[in-house]
Amino acid sequence: MSLFRKFFYRKPPDGLLEITERVYVFDSCFSTDVFDDDKYGQYIGDIVLHLRSHFADASFMVFNFREEERESQQSLLASILSIYDMVVMDYPRQYEGCPLLTMEMVHHFLRSGESWLSLGQHNVLIMHCERGGWNVLAFMLAGLLLYRKQFIGEQRTLEMVYRQAPRELIQLLSPLNPMPSQIRYLHYISRRNVSAEWPPGDRPLTLDCVILRNTPGCNGEDGCRPIFRIYGQDPLLGTDNNPKVLFSTPKRSKYVRHYKQTVN
């Protein structure tokens, strides 16, 4: 079977990376380069032309992870692709500064992706992120692969996706390693058939400790002074879904210490 697939393998269109059958990622997601609007429009247009010639009978859905500050406006990608009658679904590229999304948003993404790919063999899914959104795109893509049971193992799947981009890209986008938290969320996705409730509801959380395996250097110092904030829904305002700061380390506190980097 593998020989059969290899014999009939078709190179993906220029500008796209194939993750699995009918699932692609724009290669601009793996770069820190910044396009001006005209060059960006030309870049996207060229890829669409290659797509149309490569998949003559296909229909395309694009998932885009974008800046939250401009959510009220149509994304630039959606504006460009509307010319080609391609549907774009915009998602945030972070949640309160973390490369994760709420479980409700993750659930919507997974159901939408699964539904689109299951509707027909001519449906193609393409993923895109604006600058700084690679970490959440990688997480969501790994979740989709697990959700569709195309891969097994949360850490293995997430690492496979991250390997598609230069290793230093993760460090450029975030001073902290996002993978442990992302793997925890991927466990929820993998165990959805075991749990009676999906997506899982909010539950009380007890935070025993925070472990920094690598101390980041901030503000040109040889270390950092970590201040922790916990966001969530206010239990006293059940109808308000907007996140609130439930806890924050006081900035003037004996607990705010300076942790120095060590030289190995």
C-alpha to C-alpha distance for 76 and 183, rounded to whole angstroms: 31
Q: What is the DSSP-derived secondary structure letter of residue 236?
A: T
Q: Model confidence at 2, in pLDDT bands (50, 70, 90)?
A: very low
Domains of the chain: total: 2
Rounded to whole angstroms, the Cα distance separating 55 from 51 reads 6
Domain final residue, candidates 167, 190, 213: 190
| CB 127 within 8 Å of CB 23 | yes
Look at residue 225 and tell me if it is in a domain.
yes
User: Among residues 196, 122, 121, 185, which one has the least CA distance to residue 158?
Assistant: 185
Same structural domain, 72 and 142: yes
* pLDDT on residue 134: 92
- What whole-number distance in Å separates Cα of residue 14 and Cα of residue 30? 14
**φ, ψ dihedrals at 246, nearest 5°:** -85, -25
**Is the four-CA dihedral 140, 159, 231, 97 of positive or negative sign?**
negative
CATH of the domain at 143: 3.90.190.10
Residues 65, 25 contacting (CB under 8 angstroms):
no
What pLDDT was estimated at residue 4? 39
* Domain range enclosing 264: 203-264
> Is residue 55 domain-resident?
yes
- Both 99 and 8 in one domain: the answer is yes
Task: Answer yes or no: is 249 within a domain.
Answer: yes
* Secondary structure class of 179 (helix, strand, coil): helix
- Average pLDDT on 45-65 reads 92
Q: Specify whether 30 is located in the same domain as 161.
A: yes
Q: Is the residue at 56 inside a domain?
A: yes
User: Taking the model in full, what pTM does it have?
Assistant: 0.80
- Please report whether residue 198 resides in a domain: no
Do 167 and 57 have their domain in common?
A: yes
Same domain membership, residue 209 and residue 91: no
- Of 134, 164, 190, which marks where a domain is finished? 190
- Judge whether 195 lies within some domain: no
- Does residue 238 carry a pLDDT above 70? no
Q: Is residue 209 part of a domain?
A: yes
Based on the domain organization, do 207 and 167 belong to the same domain?
Answer: no
| 208 and 186 assigned to the same domain | no
Cβ neighbors of 161 (< 8 A, separation 6 or more) are 19, 138, 141, 142, 145
Mean pLDDT score across all residues of the chain: 83
Residues 30-50 as b or e (16 or more Cβ within 10 Å = b) = eeeeeeeeeeebebbeebbee
Tens digit of each residue's pLDDT (9 = 90 or more) over 136-190: 999 999 999 999 999 999 999 999 999 988 877 877 777 778 899 999 999 989 8
> Encoding tokens for residue 259?
């942790």
pLDDT of residue 62: 96
Share of the chain above pLDDT 70, in %: 84
For residue 239, what pLDDT band results from cuts at 50, 70 and 90? low
Q: What secondary structure letter does DSSP report for 254?
A: T
Of all helices (H) and strands (E), which one includes residue 7? helix 2-7
Contact 13, 47 (CB under 8 A): yes
Q: Which of 205, 215, 202, 238 is nearest to 102 (CA)?
A: 202
**Listed residues 144, 159, 190: the one ending a domain:** 190
Residues 184 and 208 both lie in one domain: no
Residues 120 and 237 in one domain: no
- For residues 216 and 97, state if they share a domain: no
Q: Any idea which residues carry the catalytic annotation?
A: 129
Question: 185 and 55 share a domain?
Answer: yes
The vertex-65 CA angle with 98 and 81, nearest 5°, equals 170
Is residue 224 a contact partner of residue 218, using CB atoms and an 8 Å limit? yes
Whether 130 and 154 map to the same domain: the answer is yes
Q: Could you tell me if residue 9 is inside a domain?
A: yes
Distance CA 201, CA 221 (A): 40
